[in-house]
Amino acid sequence: MLPLLAHLCAHSGFSLAMPDRIGALHRSALLLAWTASNAQMAFRKVAIADLIILHEYGEPSHYQGAVSAATALEYKTVQQIEFTPLRKLKQGFQQRDLYKMKKELRDALLLAFWTLFPRALAGKTVILGIAPIDWRIIFLVHALAHARVIYHSSWTDWGGERYAKNPPAARKTVRKVWSYFLTRRVECFALVTPRVAEELERQFGISRERTYVVFQSYNQHIFQPARECDASPLKVIFAGRLDASKGVADVIELARRLPSVEFALVGNGPLKKSIETCGLPNVRLLGVVEDRAILSSIFSEHHVVVLPSKRTTVWEELFGMVLVEAMACGCIPMATDHPGPRTIIRDADLRKFVFAEEEFLDHAESALRKLDTRRLRMLKQKAIEESRRFAVSEIEKIWMKILQ
């Protein structure tokens, strides 16, 4: 199928700017052919990889330390694959996003191939990041039957009441497969916080000898303080999804209460319109910033980073990479007391800015009012020092123990 599509593409003179006389169906077929030919080449690259990172949403920054460790250990190649590609493939086709189409088609074909021929992964190491208790484990446990599997997770509640995924059908079967996968198929566990290790030991009897606490990491060559930031006016930054669970409403309310403080929000989401129309002159919406160097520069221009996350029935802030990256640039963290911020922020002075959800607004307002120049400088240095244990160079050392 792939060679046929590739041949069709090669002899079609394919171009995204096809003449109008060519029908939409023809253009779609040629677009699919071009994508298939490129996916075939990508398929070959994955076939020779000896480390495969298999995860749901494709967040490469979560695995910087693993990739760096694999390079140091002289793994030949590392490939990252998403195990939910069909939805994104459809989106890519509708948007004519060639890169997304190529990648998602490649991932879909690989998953189908591994499911049919699981021995193709024999001798390969697979880092699997999948939320409990995702039903896809039924297929993945078969596809990974001959691979060396390292399970990567940040999920802290394994008691069954607040699973990230809870399939409505075949729940008992899915849970049995998960139990088998965790106790029999996983060689070792790369867990983002100590609490995850405690939960897995309590619920599944996973020995601590098989678990490693390996934080998410940031690139210390990109995220670093650029210069001294003027103490006045005080500048506060939020970066993340613009939705209720991230506490965006609290950020806007803080701006309303503190008109002399400047607030900037980086990101996109359902609350974007309400931010644009809030009518507060001290609020700026910067939109999505994909360039990490630019994001670092933005952080360096601010004094405080806020992350007032709100728990839902299926989610809480399990880490909070934005805190680490902003702290590395000199931002003082203020957050709600979710597992992630509690893990990241250990310094006694900085811990004073980790508040209970119901107290965040009043306490954050009070704390921001009290930040003078001397205190800002002291806390900024503490934030920078606190962030260093999450640098890629540090996290790489733990991944090397896991991957060797």
pLDDT digits (tens, 9 = 90+) for 132-152: 989 999 999 999 999 999 999
CATH number of 235-389: 3.40.50.2000
304-307 and 332-336 beta bridge pairing: parallel
For residue 19, is pLDDT > 80?
A: no
For domain 2-218+396-403, is the CATH number 3.30.60? no
* Collapsed DSSP state (helix, strand, coil) of residue 111: helix
Q: Give pLDDT, residue 33.
A: 57
Mean per-residue pLDDT of the chain: 87
Residue 241 has pLDDT above 90, yes or no: yes
Average pLDDT over residues 28-57: 67
How many helices (H) does the chain have, and how many strands (E)?
A: 17, 12
Confidence check: pLDDT of 218 > 70: yes
pLDDT score, position 91: 74
Residue 123, classed as helix, strand or coil, is coil
Question: Do 2-218+396-403 and 235-389 have matching folds?
Answer: yes
Query: Sorting pLDDT into bands at 50, 70 and 90, what band is 5?
Result: very low
Q: Enter the tokens of residue 360.
A: 């965040």
What does the domain layout of the chain look like in residue ranges? 2-218+396-403, 235-389
pTM above 0.75, yes or no: yes
Vertex 239, ends 367 and 85: CA angle to 5°? 150
Dist CA 201 CA 197 (whole Å): 6
Return phi, psi of residue 80, to 5°.
-110, 130
CA distance 30 to 402: 44
Range scoring the smallest mean pLDDT among 89-98, 104-113, 311-320, 343-352: 89-98
